Structure 1
Amino acid sequence: MVPQSAILGLVFQLAVSVILPVAGYIFLKKKYKISFRPVLIGILIFFVFANVLGGSFNQFILVTNKTTSQIADQPVLFAIYGGLSAGFFEEMGRFIAFTWLLKLYRERKDGLAYGLGHGGIEALLIGALGSIQMISLAILQNSGKLEKTIAAQNLPPEVLNQLTSALTELTFPLAFMGGLERAAAFFIQIALSLIVLYAVKNKKYIYVLAAILLHALIDFFPALYQAGAMNLYAVEIIIYVIGIGAFLFIRSSFLRD
Protein backbone atom coordinates (compact mmCIF):
# COMPACT_ATOMS: atom_id res chain seq x y z
CA MET A 1 0.00 0.00 0.00
CA VAL A 2 1.08 3.54 -0.76
CA PRO A 3 0.42 5.75 2.28
CA GLN A 4 -2.17 8.49 1.76
CA SER A 5 0.36 10.95 3.17
CA ALA A 6 2.75 10.03 0.35
CA ILE A 7 0.02 10.68 -2.23
CA LEU A 8 -0.63 14.02 -0.52
CA GLY A 9 3.04 14.83 -0.94
CA LEU A 10 2.75 14.05 -4.65
CA VAL A 11 -0.23 16.39 -4.86
CA PHE A 12 1.93 19.10 -3.29
CA GLN A 13 4.64 18.42 -5.87
CA LEU A 14 2.06 18.65 -8.65
CA ALA A 15 0.68 21.91 -7.29
CA VAL A 16 4.12 23.52 -7.04
CA SER A 17 5.06 22.40 -10.55
CA VAL A 18 1.91 23.96 -12.03
CA ILE A 19 1.39 27.02 -9.84
CA LEU A 20 4.95 28.38 -10.08
CA PRO A 21 5.02 28.77 -13.89
CA VAL A 22 1.44 30.07 -14.07
CA ALA A 23 1.85 32.50 -11.18
CA GLY A 24 5.25 33.55 -12.51
CA TYR A 25 3.80 34.40 -15.90
CA ILE A 26 0.92 36.37 -14.38
CA PHE A 27 3.33 38.28 -12.13
CA LEU A 28 5.79 39.14 -14.91
CA LYS A 29 3.02 40.06 -17.33
CA LYS A 30 1.44 42.39 -14.81
CA LYS A 31 4.64 43.98 -13.47
CA TYR A 32 6.87 44.09 -16.57
CA LYS A 33 4.42 43.65 -19.47
CA ILE A 34 6.59 40.84 -20.83
CA SER A 35 6.21 39.55 -24.37
CA PHE A 36 5.24 35.92 -24.87
CA ARG A 37 7.98 35.40 -27.50
CA PRO A 38 10.85 34.95 -24.99
CA VAL A 39 8.66 32.58 -22.97
CA LEU A 40 7.90 30.52 -26.07
CA ILE A 41 11.56 30.48 -27.16
CA GLY A 42 12.51 29.31 -23.67
CA ILE A 43 10.04 26.44 -23.94
CA LEU A 44 11.27 25.42 -27.40
CA ILE A 45 14.96 25.68 -26.51
CA PHE A 46 14.51 23.48 -23.45
CA PHE A 47 12.64 20.88 -25.48
CA VAL A 48 15.08 20.84 -28.40
CA PHE A 49 18.40 21.23 -26.58
CA ALA A 50 17.75 19.46 -23.27
CA ASN A 51 15.39 16.72 -24.47
CA VAL A 52 16.11 16.03 -28.15
CA LEU A 53 19.78 16.95 -28.66
CA GLY A 54 20.99 16.34 -25.12
CA GLY A 55 18.95 13.17 -24.77
CA SER A 56 20.21 11.76 -28.07
CA PHE A 57 23.82 12.60 -27.24
CA ASN A 58 23.57 10.99 -23.80
CA GLN A 59 21.95 7.90 -25.32
CA PHE A 60 24.90 7.55 -27.67
CA ILE A 61 27.58 8.17 -25.03
CA LEU A 62 26.06 6.17 -22.17
CA VAL A 63 24.30 3.36 -24.03
CA THR A 64 25.04 2.94 -27.75
CA ASN A 65 28.79 3.51 -27.76
CA LYS A 66 30.27 0.54 -25.90
CA THR A 67 33.56 2.34 -25.30
CA THR A 68 32.10 5.39 -23.57
CA SER A 69 29.18 3.57 -21.95
CA GLN A 70 31.55 2.50 -19.18
CA ILE A 71 31.22 6.03 -17.82
CA ALA A 72 27.90 4.98 -16.31
CA ASP A 73 29.70 2.43 -14.11
CA GLN A 74 31.91 5.05 -12.46
CA PRO A 75 29.82 7.33 -10.16
CA VAL A 76 32.12 10.37 -10.05
CA LEU A 77 32.91 10.27 -13.77
CA PHE A 78 29.22 9.74 -14.53
CA ALA A 79 28.29 12.75 -12.37
CA ILE A 80 30.92 14.96 -14.02
CA TYR A 81 29.79 13.90 -17.48
CA GLY A 82 26.10 14.32 -16.64
CA GLY A 83 26.62 17.80 -15.24
CA LEU A 84 28.76 19.00 -18.14
CA SER A 85 26.38 17.52 -20.71
CA ALA A 86 23.34 19.22 -19.19
CA GLY A 87 25.23 22.48 -18.72
CA PHE A 88 26.59 22.54 -22.27
CA PHE A 89 23.35 21.77 -24.09
CA GLU A 90 21.06 24.01 -22.03
CA GLU A 91 23.41 27.00 -21.78
CA MET A 92 24.36 26.83 -25.45
CA GLY A 93 20.65 26.74 -26.15
CA ARG A 94 20.26 29.93 -24.16
CA PHE A 95 23.24 31.47 -25.94
CA ILE A 96 21.74 30.71 -29.36
CA ALA A 97 18.37 32.02 -28.25
CA PHE A 98 19.63 35.39 -27.07
CA THR A 99 22.17 35.74 -29.89
CA TRP A 100 19.94 34.99 -32.87
CA LEU A 101 16.33 34.31 -31.90
CA LEU A 102 15.82 37.15 -29.43
CA LYS A 103 17.90 39.97 -30.89
CA LEU A 104 15.15 42.48 -30.09
CA TYR A 105 14.45 41.00 -26.65
CA ARG A 106 17.49 41.63 -24.49
CA GLU A 107 16.12 43.59 -21.58
CA ARG A 108 16.14 42.15 -18.08
CA LYS A 109 12.43 41.40 -18.32
CA ASP A 110 13.11 39.31 -21.43
CA GLY A 111 15.68 37.28 -19.53
CA LEU A 112 13.09 36.69 -16.83
CA ALA A 113 10.51 35.72 -19.45
CA TYR A 114 12.90 33.31 -21.18
CA GLY A 115 13.83 31.75 -17.83
CA LEU A 116 10.15 31.41 -17.03
CA GLY A 117 9.58 29.46 -20.24
CA HIS A 118 12.70 27.32 -19.84
CA GLY A 119 12.17 26.58 -16.15
CA GLY A 120 8.40 26.43 -16.43
CA ILE A 121 8.28 23.73 -19.08
CA GLU A 122 10.84 21.75 -17.10
CA ALA A 123 8.62 21.97 -14.02
CA LEU A 124 5.59 20.85 -16.00
CA LEU A 125 7.31 17.98 -17.82
CA ILE A 126 9.29 16.63 -14.88
CA GLY A 127 7.35 17.75 -11.83
CA ALA A 128 3.72 17.88 -12.95
CA LEU A 129 3.63 14.95 -15.37
CA GLY A 130 5.85 12.88 -13.10
CA SER A 131 3.55 13.54 -10.15
CA ILE A 132 0.43 12.68 -12.15
CA GLN A 133 2.02 9.42 -13.27
CA MET A 134 3.04 8.47 -9.73
CA ILE A 135 -0.37 9.38 -8.30
CA SER A 136 -2.07 7.24 -10.94
CA LEU A 137 0.24 4.30 -10.21
CA ALA A 138 -0.29 4.72 -6.46
CA ILE A 139 -4.07 4.57 -6.92
CA LEU A 140 -3.71 1.42 -9.03
CA GLN A 141 -1.42 -0.11 -6.43
CA ASN A 142 -3.80 0.61 -3.56
CA SER A 143 -6.77 -0.75 -5.51
CA GLY A 144 -4.91 -3.93 -6.42
CA LYS A 145 -5.04 -3.22 -10.16
CA LEU A 146 -1.40 -2.39 -10.82
CA GLU A 147 -0.36 -5.97 -11.59
CA LYS A 148 -3.23 -6.45 -14.05
CA THR A 149 -2.45 -3.14 -15.74
CA ILE A 150 1.21 -4.07 -16.21
CA ALA A 151 0.27 -7.53 -17.49
CA ALA A 152 -2.23 -6.06 -19.96
CA GLN A 153 0.54 -3.95 -21.48
CA ASN A 154 2.78 -7.01 -21.92
CA LEU A 155 5.54 -5.44 -19.85
CA PRO A 156 8.16 -7.70 -18.23
CA PRO A 157 7.70 -8.69 -14.55
CA GLU A 158 10.78 -6.63 -13.65
CA VAL A 159 8.81 -3.49 -14.42
CA LEU A 160 6.14 -4.45 -11.91
CA ASN A 161 8.77 -5.18 -9.27
CA GLN A 162 10.50 -1.84 -9.84
CA LEU A 163 7.24 0.11 -9.72
CA THR A 164 6.01 -1.71 -6.63
CA SER A 165 9.31 -1.07 -4.86
CA ALA A 166 9.32 2.61 -5.78
CA LEU A 167 5.71 3.07 -4.67
CA THR A 168 5.96 1.22 -1.36
CA GLU A 169 9.13 3.13 -0.44
CA LEU A 170 7.51 6.48 -1.21
CA THR A 171 6.88 8.67 1.84
CA PHE A 172 5.46 12.12 2.44
CA PRO A 173 8.90 13.68 3.12
CA LEU A 174 10.29 12.28 -0.14
CA ALA A 175 7.37 13.52 -2.22
CA PHE A 176 7.32 16.88 -0.41
CA MET A 177 11.05 17.35 -1.03
CA GLY A 178 10.40 16.70 -4.70
CA GLY A 179 8.08 19.71 -4.75
CA LEU A 180 10.66 21.92 -3.07
CA GLU A 181 13.27 20.71 -5.54
CA ARG A 182 11.04 21.77 -8.45
CA ALA A 183 10.75 25.24 -6.93
CA ALA A 184 14.53 25.49 -6.51
CA ALA A 185 15.16 24.29 -10.07
CA PHE A 186 12.66 26.83 -11.40
CA PHE A 187 14.54 29.77 -9.86
CA ILE A 188 17.91 28.32 -10.86
CA GLN A 189 16.81 28.21 -14.51
CA ILE A 190 15.75 31.86 -14.40
CA ALA A 191 19.04 32.90 -12.78
CA LEU A 192 21.09 31.05 -15.40
CA SER A 193 19.04 32.73 -18.13
CA LEU A 194 19.92 36.15 -16.75
CA ILE A 195 23.62 35.26 -16.68
CA VAL A 196 23.64 34.17 -20.33
CA LEU A 197 21.60 37.21 -21.35
CA TYR A 198 24.18 39.42 -19.62
CA ALA A 199 26.95 37.63 -21.52
CA VAL A 200 25.29 38.12 -24.91
CA LYS A 201 24.11 41.68 -24.29
CA ASN A 202 27.52 42.87 -23.10
CA LYS A 203 29.63 40.52 -25.27
CA LYS A 204 31.25 39.08 -22.15
CA TYR A 205 31.18 35.47 -23.29
CA ILE A 206 33.19 34.25 -20.34
CA TYR A 207 29.86 34.34 -18.50
CA VAL A 208 28.49 31.70 -20.88
CA LEU A 209 31.31 29.41 -19.77
CA ALA A 210 30.56 30.38 -16.17
CA ALA A 211 26.90 29.42 -16.69
CA ILE A 212 27.91 26.05 -18.18
CA LEU A 213 30.22 25.25 -15.27
CA LEU A 214 27.70 26.45 -12.69
CA HIS A 215 24.99 24.35 -14.30
CA ALA A 216 27.36 21.37 -14.33
CA LEU A 217 28.15 21.85 -10.64
CA ILE A 218 24.46 21.99 -9.74
CA ASP A 219 23.66 18.81 -11.68
CA PHE A 220 26.75 17.04 -10.33
CA PHE A 221 25.10 16.26 -7.00
CA PRO A 222 21.83 14.76 -8.29
CA ALA A 223 23.91 12.68 -10.72
CA LEU A 224 25.95 11.35 -7.79
CA TYR A 225 22.72 10.32 -6.09
CA GLN A 226 21.49 8.71 -9.30
CA ALA A 227 24.73 6.71 -9.39
CA GLY A 228 24.15 5.63 -5.78
CA ALA A 229 27.12 7.57 -4.41
CA MET A 230 25.39 10.32 -2.41
CA ASN A 231 22.61 10.57 0.15
CA LEU A 232 19.32 11.96 -1.18
CA TYR A 233 18.76 14.29 1.76
CA ALA A 234 22.21 15.81 1.36
CA VAL A 235 21.56 16.39 -2.35
CA GLU A 236 18.20 18.02 -1.67
CA ILE A 237 19.67 20.40 0.93
CA ILE A 238 22.37 21.48 -1.52
CA ILE A 239 19.78 22.11 -4.24
CA TYR A 240 17.57 24.10 -1.84
CA VAL A 241 20.50 26.31 -0.80
CA ILE A 242 21.43 26.95 -4.43
CA GLY A 243 17.77 27.63 -5.22
CA ILE A 244 17.56 30.24 -2.45
CA GLY A 245 20.76 31.80 -3.77
CA ALA A 246 19.27 31.88 -7.28
CA PHE A 247 16.13 33.59 -5.99
CA LEU A 248 18.19 36.26 -4.20
CA PHE A 249 20.31 36.71 -7.32
CA ILE A 250 17.20 37.26 -9.43
CA ARG A 251 15.93 39.92 -7.04
CA SER A 252 19.24 41.80 -6.97
CA SER A 253 20.54 40.91 -10.42
CA PHE A 254 23.41 42.97 -11.79
CA LEU A 255 21.62 43.01 -15.14
CA ARG A 256 19.42 46.08 -14.95
CA ASP A 257 17.58 47.96 -17.67
Structure 2
Amino acid sequence: MVPVSSIVGMALTSVICMLVPVGGFVWIATRRDAGVRRYPKVGRAFAAGMLAFVASQLLTRIPLMAWLGSQDLSWAQWLVSAPVASFTAGLFEETGRLLVMLWLLRRFHRWIDGVSFGLGHGGIEAVLLVGLNQLVTLGLAILVNIDPGKLDQMPAGVREPLVTALTMRPPLDYYLAGVERIGAIGLHIGLSVLILWGIVAGRRALAWVSAVLIHGVSNLVVVLLATSGLPGASVLAEVALLALVAGFWTLFVLRSRPWFPTMPLR
Protein backbone atom coordinates (compact mmCIF):
# COMPACT_ATOMS: atom_id res chain seq x y z
CA MET A 1 0.00 0.00 0.00
CA VAL A 2 1.11 3.52 -0.80
CA PRO A 3 0.73 5.66 2.35
CA VAL A 4 -2.16 8.10 2.26
CA SER A 5 0.24 10.85 3.30
CA SER A 6 2.28 10.17 0.14
CA ILE A 7 -0.83 10.37 -2.04
CA VAL A 8 -1.81 13.67 -0.43
CA GLY A 9 1.71 14.99 -1.07
CA MET A 10 1.53 13.98 -4.74
CA ALA A 11 -1.84 15.68 -5.13
CA LEU A 12 -0.70 18.82 -3.32
CA THR A 13 2.43 19.17 -5.43
CA SER A 14 0.40 18.63 -8.61
CA VAL A 15 -1.97 21.43 -7.54
CA ILE A 16 0.95 23.75 -6.75
CA CYS A 17 2.57 23.13 -10.13
CA MET A 18 -0.64 23.68 -12.07
CA LEU A 19 -2.52 26.32 -10.12
CA VAL A 20 0.10 28.63 -8.59
CA PRO A 21 1.38 30.04 -11.91
CA VAL A 22 -2.03 30.06 -13.60
CA GLY A 23 -3.74 31.47 -10.52
CA GLY A 24 -1.07 34.14 -10.16
CA PHE A 25 -1.47 35.19 -13.76
CA VAL A 26 -5.27 35.26 -13.57
CA TRP A 27 -5.08 37.41 -10.44
CA ILE A 28 -2.76 39.89 -12.20
CA ALA A 29 -4.75 39.93 -15.43
CA THR A 30 -8.10 40.56 -13.70
CA ARG A 31 -7.02 43.45 -11.46
CA ARG A 32 -9.17 46.51 -12.18
CA ASP A 33 -9.20 50.18 -11.21
CA ALA A 34 -12.55 51.90 -11.70
CA GLY A 35 -13.62 49.16 -14.07
CA VAL A 36 -10.47 49.40 -16.22
CA ARG A 37 -7.83 46.70 -16.30
CA ARG A 38 -4.87 47.72 -14.20
CA TYR A 39 -2.37 45.77 -16.32
CA PRO A 40 -3.51 45.65 -19.96
CA LYS A 41 -1.92 43.09 -22.30
CA VAL A 42 0.02 41.43 -19.49
CA GLY A 43 -0.67 38.05 -21.10
CA ARG A 44 2.00 38.74 -23.70
CA ALA A 45 4.72 38.60 -21.06
CA PHE A 46 3.27 35.39 -19.57
CA ALA A 47 3.32 33.66 -22.98
CA ALA A 48 6.81 35.00 -23.69
CA GLY A 49 8.05 33.52 -20.41
CA MET A 50 6.74 30.09 -21.39
CA LEU A 51 8.45 30.38 -24.75
CA ALA A 52 11.74 31.33 -23.11
CA PHE A 53 11.76 28.16 -21.01
CA VAL A 54 10.82 25.88 -23.90
CA ALA A 55 13.50 27.41 -26.15
CA SER A 56 16.30 27.56 -23.57
CA GLN A 57 15.73 24.19 -21.91
CA LEU A 58 13.48 21.75 -23.77
CA LEU A 59 14.81 22.53 -27.23
CA THR A 60 18.46 23.19 -26.42
CA ARG A 61 20.01 22.53 -23.02
CA ILE A 62 18.17 19.34 -22.00
CA PRO A 63 18.89 17.50 -25.28
CA LEU A 64 22.48 18.74 -25.17
CA MET A 65 22.97 17.56 -21.58
CA ALA A 66 21.43 14.17 -22.44
CA TRP A 67 23.86 13.77 -25.32
CA LEU A 68 26.84 14.81 -23.20
CA GLY A 69 25.79 12.39 -20.48
CA SER A 70 25.91 9.51 -22.98
CA GLN A 71 29.51 10.29 -23.96
CA ASP A 72 32.27 8.34 -22.22
CA LEU A 73 34.59 11.34 -22.22
CA SER A 74 36.02 13.11 -19.19
CA TRP A 75 35.19 16.62 -20.44
CA ALA A 76 31.62 15.60 -21.24
CA GLN A 77 31.11 14.11 -17.79
CA TRP A 78 32.56 17.27 -16.26
CA LEU A 79 30.02 19.38 -18.14
CA VAL A 80 27.10 17.35 -16.77
CA SER A 81 28.44 17.26 -13.21
CA ALA A 82 26.22 18.96 -10.63
CA PRO A 83 28.36 22.09 -10.05
CA VAL A 84 28.79 22.82 -13.76
CA ALA A 85 25.20 21.89 -14.62
CA SER A 86 23.99 24.32 -11.96
CA PHE A 87 25.54 27.19 -13.88
CA THR A 88 24.78 25.99 -17.40
CA ALA A 89 21.11 26.07 -16.41
CA GLY A 90 21.55 29.72 -15.51
CA LEU A 91 23.55 30.42 -18.66
CA PHE A 92 20.96 28.94 -21.02
CA GLU A 93 17.86 30.19 -19.23
CA GLU A 94 19.05 33.74 -18.61
CA THR A 95 20.27 34.07 -22.17
CA GLY A 96 16.92 32.83 -23.40
CA ARG A 97 15.13 35.16 -21.02
CA LEU A 98 17.06 38.18 -22.30
CA LEU A 99 16.67 37.35 -25.99
CA VAL A 100 12.95 36.65 -25.76
CA MET A 101 12.36 39.88 -23.82
CA LEU A 102 14.27 41.88 -26.42
CA TRP A 103 12.26 40.20 -29.18
CA LEU A 104 8.73 40.08 -27.77
CA LEU A 105 8.59 42.69 -25.00
CA ARG A 106 9.90 45.74 -26.84
CA ARG A 107 6.89 47.79 -25.70
CA PHE A 108 6.23 46.02 -22.42
CA HIS A 109 8.75 47.16 -19.81
CA ARG A 110 6.54 47.41 -16.72
CA TRP A 111 7.53 45.75 -13.48
CA ILE A 112 4.41 43.61 -13.71
CA ASP A 113 5.56 42.40 -17.14
CA GLY A 114 8.67 40.99 -15.50
CA VAL A 115 6.53 39.30 -12.86
CA SER A 116 4.19 37.85 -15.47
CA PHE A 117 7.13 36.68 -17.59
CA GLY A 118 8.57 34.85 -14.56
CA LEU A 119 5.22 33.24 -13.81
CA GLY A 120 5.07 31.93 -17.36
CA HIS A 121 8.68 30.72 -17.34
CA GLY A 122 8.54 29.10 -13.91
CA GLY A 123 5.00 27.87 -14.44
CA ILE A 124 5.61 25.91 -17.63
CA GLU A 125 8.76 24.46 -16.06
CA ALA A 126 6.75 23.34 -13.03
CA VAL A 127 4.05 21.75 -15.17
CA LEU A 128 6.32 19.95 -17.64
CA LEU A 129 9.13 18.83 -15.33
CA VAL A 130 7.23 18.14 -12.09
CA GLY A 131 3.46 18.54 -12.31
CA LEU A 132 2.75 16.02 -15.08
CA ASN A 133 5.09 13.49 -13.48
CA GLN A 134 3.34 13.92 -10.14
CA LEU A 135 -0.05 13.36 -11.77
CA VAL A 136 1.13 10.12 -13.36
CA THR A 137 2.67 9.02 -10.07
CA LEU A 138 -0.56 9.88 -8.26
CA GLY A 139 -2.58 7.77 -10.70
CA LEU A 140 -0.25 4.81 -10.26
CA ALA A 141 -0.32 5.13 -6.47
CA ILE A 142 -4.12 5.10 -6.44
CA LEU A 143 -4.08 2.07 -8.74
CA VAL A 144 -1.67 0.22 -6.44
CA ASN A 145 -3.99 0.80 -3.49
CA ILE A 146 -7.33 0.14 -5.21
CA ASP A 147 -6.67 -2.47 -7.90
CA PRO A 148 -3.06 -3.68 -7.90
CA GLY A 149 -4.00 -6.58 -10.17
CA LYS A 150 -4.05 -4.23 -13.15
CA LEU A 151 -0.32 -3.76 -12.75
CA ASP A 152 0.21 -7.45 -13.57
CA GLN A 153 0.16 -6.50 -17.25
CA MET A 154 3.49 -4.76 -16.73
CA PRO A 155 6.74 -6.72 -17.06
CA ALA A 156 7.98 -7.87 -13.66
CA GLY A 157 11.19 -5.95 -14.16
CA VAL A 158 9.16 -2.74 -14.36
CA ARG A 159 6.32 -3.49 -11.95
CA GLU A 160 8.31 -4.52 -8.90
CA PRO A 161 10.72 -1.54 -8.82
CA LEU A 162 7.78 0.79 -9.45
CA VAL A 163 5.70 -0.57 -6.58
CA THR A 164 8.74 -0.59 -4.30
CA ALA A 165 9.49 3.04 -5.11
CA LEU A 166 5.89 4.13 -4.50
CA THR A 167 5.52 2.27 -1.21
CA MET A 168 8.96 2.91 0.26
CA ARG A 169 9.68 6.51 -0.71
CA PRO A 170 9.34 8.85 2.30
CA PRO A 171 6.08 10.86 2.07
CA LEU A 172 8.02 14.03 2.93
CA ASP A 173 9.74 13.90 -0.47
CA TYR A 174 6.47 14.58 -2.27
CA TYR A 175 5.73 17.64 -0.14
CA LEU A 176 9.26 18.96 -0.60
CA ALA A 177 8.82 18.77 -4.37
CA GLY A 178 5.96 21.25 -4.04
CA VAL A 179 7.98 23.53 -1.78
CA GLU A 180 10.85 23.44 -4.27
CA ARG A 181 8.52 24.52 -7.08
CA ILE A 182 7.26 27.48 -5.06
CA GLY A 183 10.86 28.57 -4.51
CA ALA A 184 11.77 27.99 -8.16
CA ILE A 185 8.81 30.02 -9.44
CA GLY A 186 9.70 32.83 -7.04
CA LEU A 187 13.29 32.74 -8.31
CA HIS A 188 12.18 32.87 -11.95
CA ILE A 189 9.97 35.87 -11.24
CA GLY A 190 12.86 37.67 -9.56
CA LEU A 191 15.30 36.86 -12.34
CA SER A 192 12.81 38.03 -14.96
CA VAL A 193 12.41 41.35 -13.16
CA LEU A 194 16.22 41.65 -12.97
CA ILE A 195 16.72 41.02 -16.70
CA LEU A 196 13.90 43.42 -17.61
CA TRP A 197 15.42 46.07 -15.34
CA GLY A 198 18.68 45.68 -17.25
CA ILE A 199 16.83 46.39 -20.50
CA VAL A 200 15.00 49.40 -19.03
CA ALA A 201 18.13 50.86 -17.41
CA GLY A 202 20.42 50.18 -20.36
CA ARG A 203 22.53 47.77 -18.28
CA ARG A 204 21.77 44.51 -20.04
CA ALA A 205 25.21 42.95 -19.55
CA LEU A 206 25.23 43.63 -15.80
CA ALA A 207 21.72 42.27 -15.37
CA TRP A 208 22.48 39.17 -17.46
CA VAL A 209 25.72 38.33 -15.61
CA SER A 210 24.01 38.91 -12.25
CA ALA A 211 21.07 36.70 -13.22
CA VAL A 212 23.34 33.87 -14.41
CA LEU A 213 25.30 34.00 -11.14
CA ILE A 214 22.20 34.17 -8.92
CA HIS A 215 20.59 31.32 -10.83
CA GLY A 216 23.71 29.18 -10.76
CA VAL A 217 24.52 29.78 -7.09
CA SER A 218 20.92 29.03 -6.07
CA ASN A 219 21.00 25.74 -7.98
CA LEU A 220 24.40 24.82 -6.57
CA VAL A 221 23.44 25.52 -2.96
CA VAL A 222 20.36 23.32 -3.27
CA VAL A 223 22.30 20.48 -4.93
CA LEU A 224 25.17 20.56 -2.44
CA LEU A 225 22.85 20.59 0.57
CA ALA A 226 20.56 17.89 -0.82
CA THR A 227 23.52 15.55 -1.43
CA SER A 228 25.50 16.50 1.69
CA GLY A 229 24.39 13.55 3.78
CA LEU A 230 23.49 15.85 6.66
CA PRO A 231 20.46 14.98 8.80
CA GLY A 232 17.39 16.42 7.10
CA ALA A 233 19.46 17.37 4.05
CA SER A 234 16.43 17.59 1.74
CA VAL A 235 14.62 19.91 4.12
CA LEU A 236 17.74 22.05 4.54
CA ALA A 237 18.04 22.36 0.76
CA GLU A 238 14.50 23.66 0.34
CA VAL A 239 14.77 26.01 3.33
CA ALA A 240 17.96 27.42 1.82
CA LEU A 241 16.24 27.95 -1.53
CA LEU A 242 13.32 29.77 0.08
CA ALA A 243 15.73 31.90 2.12
CA LEU A 244 17.73 32.86 -0.98
CA VAL A 245 14.58 33.76 -2.89
CA ALA A 246 13.18 35.76 0.04
CA GLY A 247 16.45 37.68 0.30
CA PHE A 248 16.51 38.37 -3.44
CA TRP A 249 12.94 39.67 -3.34
CA THR A 250 13.61 41.82 -0.28
CA LEU A 251 16.85 43.35 -1.53
CA PHE A 252 15.95 43.87 -5.18
CA VAL A 253 12.66 42.67 -6.64
CA LEU A 254 10.26 44.63 -4.43
CA ARG A 255 12.50 47.71 -4.24
CA SER A 256 12.87 47.87 -8.02
CA ARG A 257 9.21 48.51 -8.80
CA PRO A 258 9.53 52.33 -8.99
CA TRP A 259 12.34 51.98 -11.54
CA PHE A 260 10.00 50.71 -14.26
CA PRO A 261 7.46 52.53 -16.45
CA THR A 262 3.85 52.09 -15.35
CA MET A 263 2.32 51.79 -18.82
CA PRO A 264 3.29 50.00 -22.06
CA LEU A 265 5.57 52.03 -24.31
CA ARG A 266 4.08 53.56 -27.46
TM-score normalised by the chain length of structure 2: 0.83
Out of 52, 71, 79, the residue aligned to residue 45 of structure 1 is: 52
| Unmatched segments (≥5 aa) in structure 2 | 32-37, 262-266
Q: Is the 8 A contact 1:9 1:176 kept in 2?
A: yes
Match of residue 185 from structure 2: 186
Separation (CA, whole Å) in 1 of partners of 2:40 and 2:152: 49
Match of residue 152 from structure 2: 148
Matched AA of 1:144: P
Q: Secondary structure at the match of 1:64?
A: coil
Q: Is the 8 A contact 2:9 2:175 kept in 1?
A: yes
2:83 pairs with 1:85:
no
Matched AA of 1:169: M
1:165-180 alignment, distance < 5 Å: 165-180=164-179
Cα offset for 1:95?
0.8
Match of residue 13 from structure 1: 13
1:28-177 alignment, distance < 5 Å: 28-31=28-31, 32-35=38-41, 36-64=43-71, 66-71=73-78, 78-142=81-145, 143-145=147-149, 147-151=151-155, 157=157, 159-177=158-176
- CA 1:13 to 1:65, structure 2 compared with 1: closer, same or farther past 3 Å? same
Separation (CA, whole Å) in 1 of partners of 2:127 and 2:40: 21
- Larger RCO, structures 1/2 (Cα 8 Å, 6+ apart): 1
Match of residue 35 from structure 2: none
Matched AA of 1:221: V
Cα offset for 1:229?
4.3
Separation (CA, whole Å) in 1 of partners of 2:167 and 2:101: 45
For residues 69-122 of structure 1, the C-alpha deviation after alignment (integer angstroms, 9 at most, x for no partner) is 4338xxxx8221111110011000011012222211122121112111101111
| Unmatched segments (≥5 aa) in structure 1 | none
For residues 156-188 of structure 1, the C-alpha deviation after alignment (integer angstroms, 9 at most, x for no partner) is 82x445433431233332212221211111111
Match of residue 243 from structure 1: 245
- CA 1:247 to 1:148, structure 2 compared with 1: closer, same or farther past 3 Å? farther
2:259 pairs with 1:253:
no
Matched AA of 1:52: L
How many pairs does the alignment contain? 247
Identical aligned residues as a percent: 26
For residues 117-141 of structure 1, the C-alpha deviation after alignment (integer angstroms, 9 at most, x for no partner) is 1011112223321210110121233
Q: Is the 8 A contact 1:34 1:110 kept in 2?
A: no
Separation (CA, whole Å) in 2 of partners of 1:95 and 1:145: 51
Separation (CA, whole Å) in 2 of partners of 1:191 and 1:107: 14
Match of residue 211 from structure 1: 211
Cα offset for 1:217?
0.9
- CA 1:222 to 1:105, structure 2 compared with 1: closer, same or farther past 3 Å? same
- CA 1:166 to 1:222, structure 2 compared with 1: closer, same or farther past 3 Å? farther
For residues 199-234 of structure 1, the C-alpha deviation after alignment (integer angstroms, 9 at most, x for no partner) is 1222211121110011111111344467x4453222
Separation (CA, whole Å) in 2 of partners of 1:163 and 1:229: 26
- CA 1:186 to 1:149, structure 2 compared with 1: closer, same or farther past 3 Å? farther
Q: Tell which structure's C-alpha radius of gyration is larger.
A: 2
TM-score normalised by the chain length of structure 1: 0.86
Separation (CA, whole Å) in 2 of partners of 1:145 and 1:190: 45
Cα offset for 1:63?
1.9
Q: Is the 8 A contact 2:71 2:77 kept in 1?
A: no
- CA 1:68 to 1:223, structure 2 compared with 1: closer, same or farther past 3 Å? farther
